[in-house]
Amino acid sequence: MPFAMLMDTAIDYPEIREQVTRLCAGFPGSYWRDLEARSAYPEAFVKALTESGYLAALIPEAFGGAGLPLRAAAVILETIHARGCSAAACHAQMYTMGTLLRHGSPSQKKRYLPAIAEGELRLQAFGVTEPDSGSDTLSLRTRAVRDGDHFVVTGQKIWTSRARYSDLLLLLVRTTPLEDCKKRSDGLTVLLVDLREAEGQGLEIRPIETMINHQTTELFIDGLKVPAENVIGEVGRGFRYILDGMNAERILLAGEALGDGRYFIERAVDYAKERKVFGRPIGQNQGIQFPLARARVHLDAADLVARQAAASFDAGEPCGPAANSAKLLTSEAAWAAAEACFQTFGGFAFAKDYDIERKWRECRLFQTAPVSTNMVLAYIAQTVLGLPRAY
């Protein structure tokens, strides 16, 4: 199906946007500042999203979810961020669905999806990255060895956000040593770990203090037993399954970056109209106008690429280049909007009560995670342009 038939550039899902906006109104900047001061998890916000059904947006209706396309989920996240809130506490529950929905067994879906949709279980943790391998996922060292009806797992993961506030964890492990694999992408397996049973039984979760309140942790795994029935898909083919989730993750987080960009521009424009210096609004000065106007143009352009990526994903078409391009463009457009907003507010941007510095710090993450700008550029250079591989 031609791409032009897949994408509608109008303001889509207006009802969702309106409803999420109303929900977010109950969680103003003071709510998020208080959480950050205490390094606390936004339980009330996550509960409100769960009870409203938004975290079950991608779960099919047969399992108690809304059965919406990925584009609708991206709109939910975009609206959350455009209204000054943060979806980082729970967005993984959306993009991990790609792995479970597409590759989980019928019994796994029946067991877990209704409980996740109802809010009885949280699937918000994703264990892939390791301290030594970093972005080189295929070199991960966490091993899982079959022992009867279980796998015994040993290794370490880092930057595993929300592990302390999730019931389930998708864990990528190596079940065949790299030297025994024909391809580096072979021999990896996805396990669904019940954190309620695992912690203290071979799994230790340690928090990592960071510049943003994302509840990030590292996992130390030593002899953790995971039932063999918790393998997602086939043993040894897990990397392909994870890629499905990664493309969804890039597209969804592109929505968040767009939302942040919209937030910064809206705040900056309102302030520039009201703030008067030298007897006139600062928004009358082109030094204020031009960075904001340029940021708006870049956001609108990035929005189109993000919609293209979502349309391709929902149509079941290859979307790797579009998903990565969307993530890169939205992250850079959002950061330009953040910088323009920070400059517009001047000294007041540093004051926590204005919430600019909090959102500014959060927005910077998009250029580093879930995939860095340089990794995206390398992927486009090698996959799209056909240049020699750099790694």
Indicate the domain borders of the chain.
Answer: 3-118, 123-236, 240-384
Which of 249, 266, 317, 332 is labelled catalytic? 249
The dihedral formed by the CA atoms of 335, 341, 342 and 348, expressed in degrees to the nearest 10: -150
Burial of 381 (0-12, 13-18, 19+ CB in 10 A): middle
Query: Does the domain formed by 123-236 have CATH 2.60.120.260?
Result: no
Q: What is the pLDDT of residue 1?
A: 45
Which residues, including other chains, have CB under 8 Å from residue 266's CB and lie 6 or more apart? Answer: 82
Q: What is the pLDDT of residue 4?
A: 41
| Ranges of the chain whose pLDDT falls below 70 | 1-9
What global pTM score does this model have?
A: 0.95
If one counts every other C-beta atom within 10 angstroms of the C-beta of residue 82, the result is 23
**Quick check: is 229 catalytic?**
no
3-state secondary structure of 266: helix
Q: Which residues contact 228 (CB under 8 A, 6 or more apart)?
A: 146, 149, 150, 151
Whole-number pLDDT of residue 98: 76
Nearest Cα to Cα of residue 330 among 213, 249, 216: 249
Phi, psi of 203 (to 5 degrees): -130, 125
Residues forming beta bridges with residue 158, ordered by sequence position = 218
pLDDT at 147: 97
Domain 240-384 = CATH 1.10.10.60: no
3-118 maps to CATH 1.10.540.10: yes
